[in-house]
Structure 1
Amino acid sequence: MWKWETDEHAKAVVVIIHSAFEHHRWYAWLIEKLRTDGYHIVMGDLPGHGEESKFLRVHDEAINEYITYIKLLMQNALSYELPVFVIGHGFGGLLAIEFLKKKTVECAGLILSSPWLHLRKTSNLITNALTSGIGTLAPNKKISLEFDKKMLTRNLDGYTEMIDDVPYHSKVTGGWYKDVQQLMKNITTEQENKLTLPILLLTAQQDKITDPSISKKWLFSQNTSELQYKEWPYNYHNLFHDNEREEVFLYTKDFMNNVLRSLGYIVK
């Protein structure tokens, strides 16, 4: 886990939760933009990701492992005694929703970027696995979601920021995949435990991994009185790495500033 503190008078703290198969170094651009704008940032690598992934050939972490780690991130963020926002991207968005539904914590607002609520890319994966001859997707069976970095952004700069010595692979166990699928189903169909905090949902119309329409439907079913939805027409999945990321950041910043004003803070 790492912390980046602003040189300005801090307005709030932002916890960033990255997506599956990524790590915190991919978010250097966003971290610096937030820090320069007056936010402290708390972020780390999810279990099995970052340096750990150099020694793993397949992801089989339990959902509870991820949730426990997010709890630790939030505890560190709340220690600043400032409003805390959560930015969850992709799989990190799914985990952020699950955490905030299950845990009672002070969170000023939730920003979701292309959250995993329905995976477009893997819609035929289970069908293919079930016809492989065994009739079931065994928990320890290794499968590949076949994600590629070129599916994430069309921006050369953003793509370059993803290139480092940590291998990017989307190999998972059947158990991991089934658990994630079940979590997505539970969140999108549950009629209780709706979120009430302010929510900003950012989606990409050219997303090759998730289905923005499912995320939009979920958003408008929540009990919050403060929500915003923005769909970017030309963007790929990783909005904070794509061509319009400056505009995406400004949209995110305006949302947080408006929430802070509603809490009684003076925001310049």
Structure 2
Amino acid sequence: MWKWETEQQPKAVVVILHSAYEQHRWYAWLIEKFRSARFHVVMGDLPGHGEQGKYARYHDENFEEYYNYTKVLLKVALEYNLPLFIVGNGLGASIATYVLQKNKIECAGVVLTSPWLHFKLAPGKLSNALSSFSAITSNVKLKHELSIQYFTRNTDVLMELKEQLPLNSMVTVKWYRDWQHMTRTIRDPENKFPDIPLLLMTGENDKITDISTSKRWLMEQTLSEFHYKQWNGCLHSLFFEVEREDVFRYTIDFINNVLRDLGYIVE
């Protein structure tokens, strides 16, 4: 993992969790935006991603690895003794949700973008059938037919990421089962999200996830403060989109309002 510290007096610390098949370098723009806005940033690569997954042919990580990695990130961020905010995208948003449901963590606020709670585009045409079979199928490989064009319409971002492609989006049935188990746990009415200020944002034209599932999940929570924003015309990855400056400003407004409610003076 890495730390990027603001050169100014920090207002808070932000932990960023990227989505499946991505890596932290994809978020250089977002990291620098937070640093310029007076936030420290803590981020790394999910297990099996980035340099660790550079030569891997498929993803077969145990989701417990994802959860443990996330808890380590949060522990490191809390060492700053500043208000902690979590920003999770896609799979990272779902992992953040699961970890917060299962653990008591001192978190000031959470921003979830396009969480993977239900797929429009699932890995492999037979994935739903295979995932219900016996352990014999666990090592069967499934192709998640994603292209970077499903993430953003922003040609500048597409050029930035050109050398970091193609996506390694081959997964095993076991990986897909773990994802299913995580999302079922998240959506279980018995597992409530902690009463933390929450901003959930989706793209109107998301081709990867079913945004109605995310909105329905949010409305089922018992939160003192929550915000839902659907960005017109946007695809899956809002911080990569043409409107990313607006998305970032919306995010910063949410975070600053939470800090004001906590008694901090926000300039």
Above 0.5 in TM-score? Answer: yes
Q: Is the 8 A contact 1:53 1:167 kept in 2?
A: no
Equivalent runs, 1:73-112 vs 2, <5 Å: 73-112=73-112
Matching residue of 1:222: 221
SS at match of 1:247: helix
Matching residue of 2:230: 231
Residue 124 of structure 1, CA deviation:
7.2
1:190 to 2:172 alignment: no
Tell me the alpha carbon deviations over residues 169-217 of structure 1, each in whole angstroms, 9 at most, x when there is no partner. Answer: 1100000011102211221233333321000001001001001111011
1:146 to 2:145 alignment: yes
Q: Is the 8 A contact 1:101 1:195 kept in 2?
A: yes
Matching residue of 2:5: 5
SS at match of 2:54: helix
TM-score (norm 2): 0.95
Whole-Å Cα distance in 2 between the matches of residues 128 and 215 of structure 1? 20
Matching residue of 2:60: 60
Identity rate of aligned residues, in percent?
50
SS at match of 1:231: strand
Whole-Å Cα distance in 2 between the matches of residues 108 and 137 of structure 1? 44
Name whichever of 175-184 and 9-18 sits farther off: 175-184
Tell me the alpha carbon deviations over residues 94-152 of structure 1, each in whole angstroms, 9 at most, x when there is no partner. Answer: 0000111111110000100101011111187346755xxx8998110011111111110
Whole-Å Cα distance in 1 between the matches of residues 68 and 189 of structure 2? 22
Q: Is the 8 A contact 1:126 1:137 kept in 2?
A: no
Matching residue of 1:210: 209
Whole-Å Cα distance in 2 between the matches of residues 85 and 99 of structure 1? 14
Residue 68 of structure 1, CA deviation:
0.5
Tell me the alpha carbon deviations over residues 15-50 of structure 1, each in whole angstroms, 9 at most, x when there is no partner. Answer: 000000000000000000000000000000000000
SS at match of 2:227: strand
SS at match of 1:177: helix
CA RMSD, 1 decimal? 1.9
Whole-Å Cα distance in 1 between the matches of residues 157 and 220 of structure 2? 33
Whole-Å Cα distance in 1 between the matches of residues 54 and 123 of structure 2? 28
Name whichever of 136-145 and 3-12 sits farther off: 136-145
Q: Is the 8 A contact 2:58 2:170 kept in 1?
A: yes
Whole-Å Cα distance in 1 between the matches of residues 174 and 242 of structure 2? 35
Whole-Å Cα distance in 2 between the matches of residues 146 and 211 of structure 1? 16
Q: Is the 8 A contact 1:129 1:136 kept in 2?
A: no
TM-score (norm 1): 0.94
Residue 161 of structure 1, CA deviation:
2.5
CA pair 203-36 structure 1, distance change in 2 beyond 3 A: same
SS at match of 2:110: strand
Q: Is the 8 A contact 1:15 1:41 kept in 2?
A: yes
SS at match of 1:22: coil
Consecutive unaligned residues of structure 1, counting only runs of 5 or more, are none
CA pair 259-137 structure 1, distance change in 2 beyond 3 A: farther
SS at match of 1:164: helix
Matching residue of 1:177: 176
CA pair 61-123 structure 1, distance change in 2 beyond 3 A: closer
* Structure 1 residue identity aligned to 2:54: K
Whole-Å Cα distance in 1 between the matches of residues 221 and 105 of structure 2? 18
CA pair 128-18 structure 1, distance change in 2 beyond 3 A: closer
Residue 52 of structure 1, CA deviation:
1.3
SS at match of 2:27: helix
1:36 to 2:60 alignment: no
Consecutive unaligned residues of structure 2, counting only runs of 5 or more, are none
- Number of residues paired by the alignment? 266
CA pair 157-137 structure 1, distance change in 2 beyond 3 A: farther
Tell me the alpha carbon deviations over residues 157-177 of structure 1, each in whole angstroms, 9 at most, x when there is no partner. Answer: 122232234652110000001
CA pair 53-166 structure 1, distance change in 2 beyond 3 A: farther
